[in-house]
Amino acid sequence: MPHPAIARDKAAVVTGAASGIGKAAAARFAGVGMRVYLLDLPGPALDAARDEAARAATEPDHVVALPCDVSDEAEMRRAAQRVISVCTAPSILMNNAVTRTGGGVWNPWADWKKAVDVNLWGVINGVRSFGPAMISAGARAFVVNVGSKQGITNPPGNAAYNVTKAAVKTFTEALQHDLRTTPGCRVSAHLLIPGWTTTGDRAHQPGAWLPEQVVDYMLSGLEAGDFYILCPDGETTAEMDRKRILWGAGDITENRSPLSRWDPVYKDAFDTFEP
């Protein structure tokens, strides 16, 4: 049985819906007859994603492009008012928008600020703008925040992105605790953790998943009631993810150096742990 929030005539809000996983999710929700609001920066990509979702929809007029900078609290609140004025509350909120701007510890302030504003504040703005109406509506509903393995295992390369995704994980865990301890609340929160997925204008590589596969995996995780929806891909199995996450936690419990997986001192030990 699909999650009851995914149903004809209910409403879904998807941020970052002009591309990749968000675009695929918006089209999927439209295909089951939901009202779908695609939130993204204004432009031809958003219009094209709306058209694509409308072609998949049983009710093309119910598919709406809502230009919105998720990092801007006022814009997000306006978007929420617009959605709530039509449908009381969405049954699905998928906070998925992302910027890869950021980089290493010494990258410009502006890059760090943008990463935090879009990737973390975008999620907080979405939850705080739509969440109260979703709770008060009293119907089954869910919030999916999109994290990353990089926010858990912290590989070197884009520290700003990793920091924001670690914060999204922490925020979503706190959100789910809050929702499950709120009397009468029928809303749940979930952390979607995609694997390597071909999105944007990147060429599809063997080993990567397509956005539609991530959406399939997300829907089965939601159906099973999973909080952590940790996707494998064609290169990384669920067992490899499990070991990498355990190894990262072991940096603290075993008093190793941080990011020891990439420290030559621990190379042999890690290679033995995850052959």
Binding site for ligand NAD (CB under 6 A): 15-16, 18-22, 40-41, 45, 69-71, 96-99, 118, 146, 148, 194, 196-197, 199-200, 211
CB of 1 to ligand NAD, least distance (A): 26
Kindly give the pairing relationship between strand 141-146 and strand 11-15: unpaired
Alpha carbon distance, N-terminus to C-terminus of the chain: 38
Q: Is the dihedral of CA 18, 21, 24, 30 positive or negative?
A: negative
CB of 257 to ligand NAD, least distance (A): 25
Output 20 or 102, the one with its CB closest to ligand NAD.
20
CB of 93 to ligand NAD, least distance (A): 14
Output 53 or 70, the one with its CB closest to ligand NAD.
70
Nearest-angstrom CA–CA distance, 94 and 41: 16
User: Helix 20-31 and helix 44-56: axis angle, to 10°?
Assistant: 30
8 Å CB contact between 111 and 160:
yes
Output 118 or 187, the one with its CB closest to ligand NAD.
118
Active site residue 161: yes
The catalytically annotated residue of 37, 161, 217, 266 is 161
Output 71 or 260, the one with its CB closest to ligand NAD.
71
The alpha carbon of residue 263 and the mean position of all alpha carbons in its chain are separated, in whole angstroms, by 30
Catalytic center residues: 161
